[in-house]
Amino acid sequence: MFATIAAHYDLLNHLLSGNIDKRWRRLVAKTLSPILARSDAQVLDVACGTGDLSLALLKGGEARIVGLDFCRPMLDIAVSKVSRFGFSLPFVEGDALDLPFADRSFEAATIAFGLRNLTSVEAGFKELLRVLKPGGRVAVLEFSRSQAPLLRSIFKIYFTKLLPLFGGLISGSKSAYQYLPDSVSHFPNQKELADLMTQAGFEEVTFRNLTGGIAALHLGTRPY
């Protein structure tokens, strides 16, 4: 599915979100800034897609960033985008459920709008935990449940009716943009996701609602 929409993915992300998605990714980088500032730190961006978060992390400091995704056409766009900005970073083709990295490799790991697409959220967390160093931080950016009733109603109409229509027209794949609201509706809400992170073994699990809870940023730490 992501191979089909790769060419239009960035355009539609920014258009359909009114560029709010860029602000959300910058917030992830800001939250991890103490780690990103360290030139000896390694940060893994899982399900990196076309590399927007990887790039935001790269711009956030001195840390070495590694992007991973299993969709080659998305990665190809990430590679050329990063080189357009004058950077080069490793983009690895691999599975988030079987990460090709040794245990305890990274100071931080991120996953933006990727967790929802995994066949098992629990298995995804298990892998993220495994590759983090003790004390390492995980940041999960994902669509969530708006807390405000009015915003929730308006957003629901937009997300379930208009977005599949425009997304389908521009990308040529209505099913991919129908999948988006469908997958969000089956995804755990803020509290449930935080509980899953704790159950997976993360500690200091917190979350922050973004844009009234349309998205949320969950953070956790691998225990020592």
78 binds ligand SAM (CB under 6 A): no
125 binds ligand SAM (CB under 6 A): no
- The residue type at 85: F
Contacting ligand SAM (CB under 6 A), which of 7, 97, 151, 170? 97
Residues 92, 175, 82, CA angle at the centre, nearest 5°? 30
Q: Per CB under 6 A, which region of 57-65, 95-103, 171-179, 207-215 contacts ligand SAM?
A: 95-103
Q: Per CB under 6 A, which region of 44-52, 144-152, 164-172, 211-219 contacts ligand SAM?
A: 44-52
Which DSSP string corresponds to 145-187? --SSHHHHHHHHHIIIIIHHHHHHHHHS-HHHHHHHHHHHHTS
CA distance to 40, 138, 139, per residue, from 66 (Å): 13, 14, 15
Q: How far is the CB of 15 from ligand SAM (least distance, A)?
A: 14
Site for ligand SAM in 160-199 (CB under 6 A): none
Instruction: Using alpha carbons, select from 8, 60, 64 the residue that is nearest to residue 30.
Output: 60
Q: Give contact residues for ligand SAM (rule: CB under 6 A).
A: 2, 47-49, 52-53, 69-71, 74, 95-97, 112-114, 117-118
